[in-house]
Amino acid sequence: MEKDLNTNNSMTIDLFIPCFIDQLYPNTAFNVIKLLEKAGCKVNYNPNQTCCGQPSYNSGYHKETKRLATKFMKDFKGENFIVSPSASCTSFIKNYYGDLFDKEDPLYKETLKIKARVFELTDFLVNKIKYINFGASFPHKICYHDACTALREYGLFKEPRTLLANVKGLELIEMEGNDVCCGFGGTFSAKFTSISTSMTELKVKHAIETGAEYIVSTESSCLLNIESYIKKNKLPIKTIHIADILASGWGKQ
CATH classification code of 141-246: 3.40.50
pLDDT at 188: 67
pLDDT at 73: 96
Chain centroid to CA 1: how far?
Answer: 23
Q: Tell me how far apart the alpha carbons of residues 76 and 53 are, in angstroms, rounded to a whole number.
A: 14
- The pLDDT of 72-87, averaged and rounded, is 96
The burial class, CB within 10 Å (0-12 / 13-18 / 19+), for 14 is: buried
- Domain boundaries along the sequence of the chain: 11-128, 141-246
pTM of the predicted protein model: 0.91
Q: Tell me how far apart the alpha carbons of residues 124 and 13 are, in angstroms, rounded to a whole number.
A: 11
pLDDT at 32 over 90: yes
Residue 193's H or E segment, with its range, is: helix 193-209
Residue-wise pLDDT for 176-202, tens only, equals 988 888 766 666 656 657 777 888 889
Q: Tell me how far apart the alpha carbons of residues 18 and 168 are, in angstroms, rounded to a whole number.
A: 28
Residue-wise pLDDT for 85-109, tens only, equals 999 999 999 999 999 999 999 999 9
Helix, coil or strand: residue 138 = coil
Determine what percent of the chain is predicted with pLDDT higher than 90.
78
Which among 33, 26, 29, 115 is positioned nearest to 69, based on CA atoms? 115
CATH classification code of 11-128: 3.40.50
pLDDT at 200: 85
Q: Do domains 11-128 and 141-246 have the same CATH topology?
A: yes
Find out whether 76 and 109 touch, Cβ atoms under 8 Å.
no
pLDDT at 129 over 50: yes
Residue-wise pLDDT for 34-61, tens only, equals 999 999 999 999 999 999 999 898 888 9
Q: Write the single-letter amino acid at 40.
A: G
